[in-house]
């Protein structure tokens, strides 16, 4: 019996105005990225509370990404600045929970960067795959 290769589950919170549109562009442009990514559309990356990230990581996700507009391009003016500050808090929480910092990633991806979206998703899957399953993985 062959053992199946481990495939991580990655949650990607994407802002509606840039990153989600970048994901859409990646799709219509046929840029390839693994099916391990579960995209959750948010109106703004600033709406993603650190508790959402930690809940995902402690309830089965192997990695979490927050993708937002580039600094200065936020539809809500400073939502991505809030996200950047929250990312620091998330990194501290990861340490408290005994999780590797590589299980979380923050990226700025615009609507015109479908190629970057695909590249970043591929990189995240490879990094998390190398880490192995989350210690909080159920089953």
Going by C-alpha positions, the residue among 61, 36, 34 that lies closest to residue 119 is 34
Within-domain flag for 38: yes
Within-domain flag for 89: yes
Confidence of residue 4 (pLDDT cuts 50, 70, 90): confident
Confidence of residue 139 (pLDDT cuts 50, 70, 90): low
Q: Which two tokens stand for residue 130?
A: 């190398």
Within-domain flag for 121: yes
CA angle 13, 16, 18 (to 5 degrees): 95
Within-domain flag for 83: yes
Q: Which two tokens stand for residue 48?
A: 């993603």
CA atoms within 13 A on the CB side of 2: 3
pTM for this predicted structure: 0.94
Within-domain flag for 17: yes
Within-domain flag for 136: no
Going by C-alpha positions, the residue among 139, 113, 119, 120 that lies closest to residue 66 is 120
Owning domain of residue 109 = 10-129
CB 134 within 8 A of CB 56: no
Q: Which of 9-18, 36-45, 119-128, 129-138 has the lowest mean pLDDT?
A: 129-138
C-alpha 7/C-alpha 90 separation (Å) is: 24
The domain that holds 95 is classified in CATH as: 3.40.50.960
> What total number of domains does the chain contain?
1
């Amino acid at each position: 019996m062959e053992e199946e290769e481990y495939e991580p589950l990655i949650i990607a919170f994407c802002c509606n105005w840039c990153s989600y549109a970048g994901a859409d562009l990646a799709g219509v442009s046929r840029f390839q990225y693994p099916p391990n990514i579960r995209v959750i559309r948010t109106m703004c990356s600033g709406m993603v509370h650190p508790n959402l990230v930690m809940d995902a990581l402690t309830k089965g996700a192997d990695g979490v990404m927050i993708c937002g507009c580039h600094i200065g391009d936020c539809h809500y003016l400073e939502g991505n600045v809030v996200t950047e500050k929250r990312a620091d808090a998330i990194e501290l929480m990861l340490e408290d929970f005994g999780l590797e910092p590589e299980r979380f990633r923050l990226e700025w991806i615009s609507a015109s960067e479908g190629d970057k979206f695909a590249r970043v998703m591929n990189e995240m899957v490879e990094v998390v795959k190398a880490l192995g399953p989350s210690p909080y993985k159920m089953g």
